[in-house]
Amino acid sequence: MNISLPYKMLIERDVSDKVNDFFLELGLGKRCVFVCTQNIRQTIADKIKHSMKDFDIDFIEPESTQKAYLEDIAKDVKSYDFVVGLGGGKSIDIAKYAAFLAGKEWVAFPTILSHDGVVSSRAILDDDGSWISVEAKEPIAVIADLDTIKNAPYEYIAAGAGDLISNISAVEDWRLAAKEGKEAYHTVMAKLSLLAAEAIEEHTDDIKARNDHGLEILLWSLLCAGFAMNIYGSSRPCSGSEHNISHALDRLNSGALHGEQVALGTIISVYLQKGDWKKIKDVLKKLGIPTTAKELNIGRQTIIKALVKARDVRDRYTILNKHEINEKKAEEILKKVEII
């Protein structure tokens, strides 16, 4: 095992007057490049640049997440001391991958908390039209501005919470895989993953209200989930059959957020695992996360097809391996859990 975890975190309501000292303490050098969209540059990044008076800062506004294009970006990144990924999942993944190729440290500065991939060592990229997960590196530090996160549309916050609720079925699938002799189960990483889900269940009101405590709980739970995956060395602690369903939906161009799709998948997975799926549904409703295909604008046939295909989207042993699901069976399951 060779594991890296971020070693500094800055979590504040307004980070702008703290960032200069934070980066000085990190000691990564003075030449820095921010990876962000034009919109984030105008609304947030320029203010941050102004505050970082001891640093020489440039911007890269990437045009795509194409792997080949990012290999070019990595060549530009080489001339800087470090990289900051500022924005949503795409900017973070681009910074992560470009920094990895260029052999530079990078700092994650998420502006939305919609999934658990912030501290992950893997990046999701576009490779000639299909999404792939590639090896990259963990951030050396994380910055979270609670005011910025709070002002993002609530659906992103809900999606982040949904990605954490999915840990419940993911860990159950892991247990099953261990029971069937497919993969070893690690209690520490599994409990870390479940801890993140439990924290969300206990704080649905704070999260819904977007108060500071709720946002901190969400942030720390996403970080905890990320740590569980980084320590284990794969997404296994936080990604089971419910993620298979989401990946199958992606292939059918469903268009919903990752966290929303895995939350919907969790209802199905927990039902198949003979768990308390109604309780999961109640928690999701409390968080304002859609619990039917219709609410997510996913067609009836699309969700049925996704459930049929889910088992074979990747090689990971889950509860789906214990069921033969054809279209008729899928429809029956989805009706039972009131998703269609």
In this structure, what are the phi and psi dihedrals at residue 31, rounded to the nearest 5 degrees? -95, 120
Closer residue to Zn ion (CB): 83 or 124: 124
- DSSP-derived letter for residue 87 is E
**Minimum distance, C-beta of residue 5 to Zn ion, in the bound complex (Å):** 19
**Minimum distance, C-beta of residue 242 to Zn ion, in the bound complex (Å):** 9
**Minimum distance, C-beta of residue 116 to Zn ion, in the bound complex (Å):** 5
Contact (CB, 8 A) for 33 and 107: no
Q: How many chain residues touch Zn ion (CB under 5 A)?
A: 1
> Long-range contacts: 21-29, Cβ < 8 Å, 24+?
22/141, 22/143, 23/52, 23/54, 23/55, 23/107, 24/54, 26/82, 26/107, 26/140, 26/141, 28/81, 28/82, 28/105, 28/140, 29/80, 29/81, 29/82
Alpha helix (H) residue ranges in the chain: 19-26, 38-40, 46-51, 67-77, 89-102, 146-151, 154-165, 167-179, 187-202, 204-209, 212-232, 241-251, 258-272, 277-286, 300-309, 327-336
Closer residue to Zn ion (CB): 45 or 108: 108
For Zn ion, which residue has the nearest CB? 163
Closer residue to Zn ion (CB): 138 or 163: 163
**Minimum distance, C-beta of residue 35 to Zn ion, in the bound complex (Å):** 22
**Minimum distance, C-beta of residue 258 to Zn ion, in the bound complex (Å):** 6
**Minimum distance, C-beta of residue 84 to Zn ion, in the bound complex (Å):** 23
User: Can you say whether the dihedral through the CA atoms of 54, 223, 189, 117 is positive or negative?
Assistant: negative
Both tokens assigned to 216: 């901190």
Residues contacting residue 136 through CB under 8 Å, at least 6 positions apart: 93, 96, 97, 99, 100, 121, 122, 123
**Minimum distance, C-beta of residue 259 to Zn ion, in the bound complex (Å):** 7
What is the distance of C-alpha 165 from the center of its chain? 12
In the block, tokens 């999404």 appear at: 131
> Checking DSSP bridges between strand 122-127 and strand 130-135, what pairing results, if any?
antiparallel
Find the binding residues for Zn ion in span 136-165 (CB under 5 A). 163
Closer residue to Zn ion (CB): 65 or 167: 167
**Minimum distance, C-beta of residue 51 to Zn ion, in the bound complex (Å):** 32
Site string for Zn ion, 193-222 (x = CB under 5 A): ------------------------------
Closer residue to Zn ion (CB): 137 or 247: 247
331 is a site residue for Zn ion (CB under 5 A): no
**Minimum distance, C-beta of residue 39 to Zn ion, in the bound complex (Å):** 25
Which one, of 29, 142, 12, lies nearest residue 79 by Cα? 29
User: Can you say whether the dihedral through the CA atoms of 174, 179, 180, 181 is positive or negative?
Assistant: positive
Closer residue to Zn ion (CB): 163 or 172: 163
Q: What residues make contact with Zn ion under the rule CB under 5 A?
A: 163
